[in-house]
Amino acid sequence: MENFDFLTKTFDGFFGYFLAAIIGFFSRAVFLRIPRFFRYVSRKAHVRWKETYFPDDTDTITLDLAGTNLDDDAGSGFIYDYKSIRDSAQVFRLSFPVSVVSGEDIGSTSFSLKDFNTKSDEVFGKNHISHLEEITGIEGLSEKIVRASEIEAKLFFSKKNGRHFNGKAFGLRSVNFNRSGNLEQPKIDISLYRTDYFTQCVMHRVALDLLSDGTLSPDEISSNRNSGFDVINSTYYPFIAGLAINAFVLTDEGREIVLVRRSANANNSLDHAGKYNTSIDEAFSQFDTTHSKFGHGNVTIQNCFRRGAKEELGINLDDPMLGELSVYQVFFVKSLFQVALAGHCTFDGTFEELRSLPAQDKPLEHESMESFEFRVRPMSKLVNSGELIPFARDLLIDLCRIRGIDVDSTLGKGISPLFMYIKIYVGTFVKTLTSRMGQ
């Protein structure tokens, strides 16, 4: 009898433990695994849904992005100092085709040859443009450059399409990224070569021509993102004869963002006239140095940024109301075949105060200057409006993401996004469930 009681108690204890294990398993499934499964499906469906409505004409390739939650210091962007942008001292200046304008009545215009290279071509240590074919591997490139030089010479002579004067400038020789300090914060490492505005315009024209016939392809930039951007640094750098800063200015304590409408008087190689651009769009110049405005010393991001703010917005170089530039992205513009830095800063004042400032380049660059509330709905409406230059729209979407503004790309599309979400959710649910059951 005692043995029977012992067996009964043992069986009851085993059955109790077994029952508890089953209850625990199903409780865990009901209260943990099942809700976790639905959260996973919901997140994945939401991402796929947003991607469906994301602009399909993205014009930028991100070379590197900083200032996101993936970084230890989410708000700082890239670290940069006076060593971040280096002058390699290499020279690329095309010879101005004097013969093109020799038959024109130079005395009747303000045109002067003194700012142009009227001697031999200077091509990275060589004096003939055929060296560019050796660098790029593109046959017939010399002929294209000669034709483009003649077209640009006539534009400079007549001061059309923004070719008002020739000036010293920089092209992009190489771009790389490092990590700095114990926190391994992202750091810019860019090398430049010396050029001029005429050479920039010629090579830009040639690049657009080669893009149209398929000789150049942005896809090669994308495929080389993980190999030190070798295709830019070793092959394509002669076409990237400029480097610019595109900066958004926030006013009214960060509640407003300033955009400018591109003027038809500006150098518009594409149809950008009348569309919104970033607050500042300024190319690096040989005057952007730390010690002198005559081309000596170190080129700095801060100097280019401040000069752009002065020339385009009228903010004095040493005005404390303009905050430091936070560079959050280095990007490649596919349609322009150009590289630029994207940043944002604050102006410690109102938009009206900023708009009232006189700036020398406003009549040349801007049709108007406008302000928008830096909140979800106004930004969503703006991004979907089609009024932004494509690359500026892409940069604004990334800035909103960095600043915690979740742009709604479905705004203004009626009730159809709801049905699309249901369709995507059901598909994601079935696919995920099938995958889990097959494991």
> What pLDDT, on a 0 to 100 scale, did the predictor assign at position 71?
41
| 340, 368 Cβ separation under 8 angstroms | no
Q: What mean pLDDT is predicted for residues 155-171?
A: 88
Comparing 136-140, 145-149, 245-249, 360-364, the range with the smallest average pLDDT is: 360-364
Instruction: Give the confidence band of 119 by pLDDT, cuts at 50, 70, 90.
Output: very high
Considering the chain, what is the average pLDDT of its residues? 81
Type of residue numbered 111? F
pLDDT of residue 384: 86
Q: What is the DSSP letter of 309?
A: I
Query: What single string gives the DSSP state of each residue in 51-113?
Result: HHHS-TT--EEEEEE-SSTTSSSTTT--B--TTSEEEEEEEEEPPP-HHHHHTS-GGGSS--S
Going by C-alpha positions, the residue among 247, 248, 251 that lies closest to residue 347 is: 251
- Please list, residue by residue across 277-309, b when 16 or more beta carbons sit within 10 angstroms of its beta carbon and e when fewer do: bbbbbbbbbbbbbeeeeeeeebbbbbbbbbbbb
Helix, strand, or coil here: 36? helix
Contact partners, residue 135, CB within 8 Å, separation at least 6: 124, 235, 237, 238
pLDDT grade, residue 103 (50/70/90)? low
- At residue 73 the predicted structure's pLDDT band, cuts being 50, 70 and 90, is very low
Angle at the Cα of 314 from the Cα atoms of 310 and 318, rounded to 5 degrees: 55
Condensed to tens digits (0 to 9), the pLDDT of residues 262-291 reads: 776 555 555 667 889 999 999 998 888 765
Joined tokens for residue 266: 């500006």
**How would you class 170 by CB atoms within 10 Å of its CB: exposed for 0-12, middle for 13-18, buried for 19 or more?**
buried
| pLDDT on residue 11 | 46
Tokens 């947003």 found at: 50
Look up residue 373 and give its amino acid: E
- What's the pLDDT score for residue 224? 65
Tokens standing for residue 397? 């979407």
What's the whole-number mean pLDDT along residues 90-100? 93
Q: Which of 60, 114, 83 is nearest to 329 (CA)?
A: 60
**Best-predicted range by mean pLDDT among 27-36, 37-46, 80-89, 120-129?**
120-129
- Please spell the DSSP secondary structure of 366-408, one letter per residue: EEEEEEEE-SHHHHHHHHTSS-B-HHHHHHHHHHHHHTT----
Lowest mean pLDDT among 42-56, 253-267, 300-314: 42-56
Give residue 431's pLDDT.
76
Give the whole-angstrom CA distance, residue 210 versus residue 221: 15
* Single-letter code of the amino acid located at 311: E
Q: Which of 33-37, 79-83, 134-138, 422-426 has the highest mean pLDDT?
A: 134-138
Pairing of strands 338-346, 243-251: parallel
Q: Which amino acid is at 145?
A: I
Ramachandran category for residue 87: left, alpha or beta (phi over 0 → left; psi -120 to 50 → alpha): beta
- 142 versus 29: the higher-pLDDT residue is 142
Which of 142-151, 269-278, 381-390 has the weakest average pLDDT? 269-278
Tokens for 77, please give them: 């962007």
**Amino acid 196: pLDDT:** 95
pLDDT at 413 over 90: no
Q: What is the mean pLDDT of residues 399-427?
A: 75
% the chain with pLDDT above 90:
44
pLDDT at 297 over 70: no
Phi, psi dihedrals of residue 418, rounded to the nearest 5°? -65, -45
Looking at per-residue pLDDT, the higher value among 25 and 40 belongs to: 40
Query: What pLDDT is stored for residue 137 in this prediction?
Result: 93
Predicted confidence at residue 58, as pLDDT, reads 82
- The reported pLDDT for the residue numbered 63 is 87
364 compared with 187, residue with greater pLDDT: 187
Whether pLDDT at 110 is above 80 = no
- If one compares 291 and 320, the residue with the highest pLDDT of the two is 320
Distance from C-alpha of 266 to C-alpha of 288, rounded to nearest angstrom: 21
- pLDDT tens readout for residues 342-373: 999 999 999 999 999 886 666 656 678 899 99
Q: Residue with structure tokens 């009730």?
A: 415
